[in-house]
Structure 1
Amino acid sequence: MQEHLPFALYDCFSDAPFGGSQAAIVSDAAGLTADIRERIARELGLPATAFVAACNSHEIDVRFLSTVMELPMCGHGTLGLVTRMVELGKLTPDAGKPLDVTLNLPAGPAVLSVTQREDGRPMIMLEVRPPQFRNDDVDAGRLCGLLGLTPVDLSESLPMETAAADFIHLVVPLRGLAGMRRITPDFGGIVKLCHDHGLETIVVICTQTERAHSTIHVRDFCPAVGVPESAAAGTTNSAVSSYLLRHGLVSADDTGNVKVWAEQGIELSRPSEVHSQITLIDGQIAKLRVGGVATKIAEGTLLVPAR
């Protein structure tokens, strides 16, 4: 026996089709076995698939899977998920005030807010844990070789550092866009480097940007978690914004908030925009949020074994 399981595909951190990072949302996933969830995620072949077990006006029970593993959290998948729930009428944000929503994940709850933009589209901001920073003494020559660069391409004034929160990222600052455009990643070598140092992604950044309003240019290499390069990554960019604050590259406005606009996915021809916001109290991070919008690109049904 088979059943028809509805799903939809979203381009996340993009307000237009064919940008950002892709996620599938399976909106009626209660009762699916772990094996079927894994098979569906591999079949769809996207960076993330969200499986919704339950949703009410303020809570969503969900699991995120890549093609190779279950993810503790997924920023871009959250944008697709919440946009889908709004479009299905399960969440109803008010134009006047944010709607607070809790994601119930196997790793624990995550809190987000949904507001309605002037064009009526939902804007989602996810609260994430601030990262802890460390120095893993990654060999710069080895890393540059895996990226097709030389140590001369690295920033002279900013250090490579590991940022650990929901995922563990090695932040690699470059001098500028010229180096970004020359990157030719050795994905197999990057996986081994990540395993050697307990890393999950290699995020390469530079303060030179292609868009005038952007704060930072980002490329995020994630083959260790099943995605060669991410076109848009929320959890990664929350770590990047914390790194920028840590090294004095951004500062708070009069309200005590730091706002960072990251451009990503340009080299993949999937441009995205990721917004991070840091709230400071007495100079310390009190709240870290990351978000944006998502655009539905397709929907249909999956034929799966009946539950």
Structure 2
Amino acid sequence: MPDSSYLSPLKNKYPYMQMNMMSKPRKRRLPLKIYDCFTNARFGGNMGGLVLDAGLLADAEMQAIAKEINVPVTGFVTAIDVDAVQVKFFMPTAEIPMCSHVTVGLYTYLHEQGLAGDEGGKSPLLKTSSGNTQVSTTVLSGGEIVVMMNLGCVVIEKCEVSRELVAEALRINQLAIRTDLPMEIGATGLRHLFVPLSDLNTLENMRPDFSALTALSEQLSVETIAPFSMQTQVIDNTFHCRDFCPALGVNEVPASGTTNSALSGYLIENKVVNTADGKATINMLAEQGYELGRPSILKIEIEMNHGEITQIRIGGSAVLSIDGIINAWQINNSAIS
């Protein structure tokens, strides 16, 4: 019998390593794909991992794999058929209920495999711990696949927080925080604190105190802190956003659909974006990630009815960056990665 005593400290530290050393493992090879999401250019946007055929993985193993892959979020496809795809999302340190940028990568993959149709065609329903989400794909004339998803309506909450405290955590002059707009919390899944800034230069050059941002996030019960400016790098875009999420284990992400969809609702609620013309659909383009060297563009469609938001859809494109395999071993019905 092989001596496995040297593994005891590791098994105590990592529960997923508890195994019968005499069992014969059955090797499994799980497809791994990493997409650059909310961009049509390689090495732009936000990196999203996809692990396919992940139905036999336990949550602890998914978390370990997400930490090993170490992209902002990894999605684990646990079941799929023509009607629905079931996914669990993990950041390197925690599970989250929904991730829009990984969804863009996932449905780009599904479209390429013939499993997701054009808008008007049939695409499987996305099933996550946050509920069910309708997703559609459209192919532009140049062949670019655009994925759009319904994120419901944004919830905006008033927030009593000191401008001085926020400015100190962001390491900016508090005079750069606009006084004509409130700092409020918005949510379309995750909760975000929105900080309106007067100019793009302050936003681009800030170097936050991430320990202070973590403490502030915990104090306000938010997952991310998102300063923004209505000044943009590209004239056709609507606003410029940064998204700091050290409370989730990632200091900053270059693109976030949940953040920008909630922010678009905030802009309408606070009459920053004109809705007086009575349009049924308001379109916005959000830019993010320039400061990280990964420019991102997020498309937002907001359905209105008599001045009220009835539906927010967000999406964009994705480019496959890495295509590989995760080696896993199944022992006594437990998948070991």
The TM-score normalised by the length of structure 2 is 0.87
Report the count of equivalent residues. 305
Matched residue, 1:297 = 321
Percent sequence identity over aligned pairs? 34
2:89 and 2:99 in contact (8 A); partners too: yes
TM-superposed deviation, 1:100: 4.2
Deviations 1:62-112 (Å, cap 9, x if unpaired)? 111111111110010110111122223332x24x73544311112321122
Counterpart secondary structure, 1:143: helix
Residues 148-168 of structure 1, C-alpha deviations (whole Å, 9 max, x = no match): 101111113211111133111
2:212 is aligned with 1:189:
yes
The structure having more radius of gyration, on CA atoms, is: 2
Aligned residue among 62, 77, 86 for 2:102: 77
Alignment of 1:33-52 (within 5 A): 33-52=58-77
**Root mean square deviation, CA, Å:** 1.5
The SS at the match of 2:189 is coil
The AA in structure 1 aligned to 2:175 is V
- The answer as to 2:264 corresponding to 1:241 is yes
* CA distance in 2 between partners of 1:3 and 1:256 (Å): 50
Unaligned runs of 5+ in 1: none
> Is the 8 Å Cα contact of residues 250 and 258 (structure 1) preserved in structure 2?
no
Instruction: Write the letter of the residue equivalent to 1:291.
Output: G
From 161, 175, 179, give the equivalent of 2:198: 175
Aligned pairs for 1:150-169 (under 5 A) are 150-169=173-192
Residue 203 of structure 1 corresponds to 226
Please tell me whether residue 114 in structure 1 is matched to residue 137 in structure 2.
Answer: yes
Alignment-derived partner of residue 89 in structure 2: 64
Who is 1:12 aligned against?
Answer: 37
The gaps in structure 2 that reach 5 residues or longer are 1-24
Partner amino acid, structure 2, of 1:289: R
| CA distance in structure 2 between the aligned counterparts of 1:125 and 1:59, rounded to whole angstroms | 16
Which of 113, 122, 128 aligns to 1:88? It is 113
Matched-pair contact (CA < 8 Å) for 1:149–1:182: no
Are 2:156 and 1:133 equivalent residues in the alignment? yes
How much does 1:261 deviate?
Answer: 0.3
Partners of 2:225 and 2:122 in 1: CA distance? 33
Aligned mates of 2:73, 2:122 — CA distance in 1: 24
Q: Which moved more, 1:101-110 or 1:230-239?
A: 101-110
Aligned to 2:295: 271
The aligned amino acid for 1:299 is D
Aligned to 2:8: none
1:153–1:174 Cα contact (<8 Å) kept: yes
Structure 1 stretches of at least 4 aligned residues deviating more than 4 Å after TM superposition? 252-255
Query: TM-score normalized by structure 1?
Result: 0.95
In the TM superposition, what is the alpha-carbon distance from 1:189 to its structure 2 partner?
A: 1.2
Whether the 8 Å contact between 1:280 and 1:286 is mirrored in structure 2 is: yes
How far apart in 2 are the matches of 1:270 and 1:69? 23
CA distance in 1, matches of 2:36, 2:291: 16
